[in-house]
A and B are shown apart, each in its own frame.
Chain A
Amino acid sequence: MAAGRPPSSDPATLAGASDGEVAYHALAGSEVAAREIVRRYERPVFNLIDRLVREAPVSEELTQDAFLKVFRKLHTFDARQRLSAWILRIAHNTAIDHLRRHRPVVLSFDAPADPERGALVDELRDDKPLPDQLLDQMRTADAVDRALDTLRPEYRAVLVLRYQEGLDYEEIAGIVNRPIGTVKTFVHRARRALARAMS
C-alpha cells in the first residue's frame, strides 16, 4: 500500500477504524480487516454494479469479481485516497467492461427508437397523458427507479454515485475516469434525462 501509515487501531476491533487503517490491516493479512472491507462496501459496490447491469445474477457475479480485484490489488491502494472511491472505481470498471462485452440495448429519450416514429419522450407524452392518478404513481420512488433504468449507463453511474453514494464531483471523476467538467455535464444531463423520463 503506497504511503501506508502505521495503524492506530487494534486489528481485532476495526468497526470504528478509518478506511486507511482497515486497508493496512487487510494487507498485513488480517481476516477481520478483509471482512470489514466487505461489510463496509458490499452494498455500494453491489448497488452501483446492479444499477449498471440490471440483472441480479450477473450483478452478483460481477460484485464477486470486483471484490476479488480489490483484494488482489490492495497493495496498490494509496492511503492518501479514499478507500471507498478506489473500490467503487474497480466496481465501475468491472461493470463497464461487462457492458462493453455484452453491448446492452439502451432506450434513448432523445433519439427515436424507430426512425419513422417520434422520440420516445414524445411517444410517452402523446400516448400517455398524465392524469392525476398516474402523476401520483410516477412521483413515487419506484417510478424513479424505473426511469433510471432507461438512462444511459454513464448517466446512471454518475447519478448513483452523486445522489445515492453522496460523492463529490472530484471523486466521481476519479471513479469513472473522466474530467471533472465532463462529470458535471453528465450529472446535469442525467438529471434532465431523468426529469424528461418522468414527465
Chain B
Amino acid sequence: MSRMPQDPWADWWKAEGTGAEERADAALREAFAAISRRPVTAALHDRLIAISGRSQAQPSRTWSERWVAAGLVLGALALTAAPLTVLVGFVLVGPARLLTSVVRACVWMSEWLNAGASVWALLARTGDAVGYAVVTPAGSSFLTVSLVVASMALVVLNRYLSVERS
C-alpha cells in the first residue's frame, strides 16, 4: 500500500486522529474495499444451489405446518372448553340436579367397572375422585387455568420448534 496522501488508510487515520467524523467515515469505506474476503468455495456454492433447489418444497411444508398449528389451537380450545361445559350445565339444569347426575354417573360407572378387571376398578375410582374434584368451583377454575396455560405453551412451542428445525 502506498503512502501517498490519497491513500484511503492514511486519510482515515488522519481523520480519525483529528476527530473528523464524516471524513473518517468516507475514508474508511473506501479503505475497506481493499480488505480481502475469504472467497466462497465452489463446494459451498454448489451446496447453496442445492439448498435453493430444495426450497421448492416450501409451500407444502408451510401448509402442513399451518395445519399442525391449527389442529393444536383447536385441540387446545376444545380442552379449555371442556370444563366450561360443567359451568354451562350448572346454569341450564341447576347445580343440584347436575351434581346428582354426575355423582350417579360416576357411581354407576364405578360399579360397572368394579365388576370387571381390577385395572378398570382403579380407573373408575380415579375417575370418580377426579369427577368430584372437577365439579367444585376451585377444581374447575384450576383445571381451566391449567389448560389455558398448557395450550398456550403448546402453541408457543410449536412456533419456536419450527424455528429450531430450520
Contacts and interface: CB of A to CB of B under 8 A. Distances in A.
Interface of A: 26-27, 29, 31, 34-35, 37-38, 42-43, 46-47, 50, 56, 59-60, 63-64, 67-69, 71-75, 136, 139-142, 144-145, 148, 159, 162-164, 166, 188, 191-192, 195, 198
B51 A71 contact: yes
B55 A163 contact: no
A117 B164 CA distance: 43
A148 B58 CA distance: 38
A67 B48 contact: yes
B38 A73 contact: no
Interface of B: 1, 3, 7, 9-10, 13, 16-17, 21, 24, 28-29, 31-38, 40-41, 44-45, 47-49, 51-56, 58-59, 61-62, 166
**What 9 pairs across the A-B complex have the smallest Cβ distances?**
A71-B55, A34-B52, A163-B32, A141-B34, A38-B48, A141-B35, A60-B44, A69-B166, A72-B166
A144 B10 CA distance: 12
A31 B53 contact: yes
B3 to A, nearest CB: 8
A63 B48 contact: yes
Contacts of B33: 164
Contacts of A191: 16, 24, 28
Contacts of A140: 1
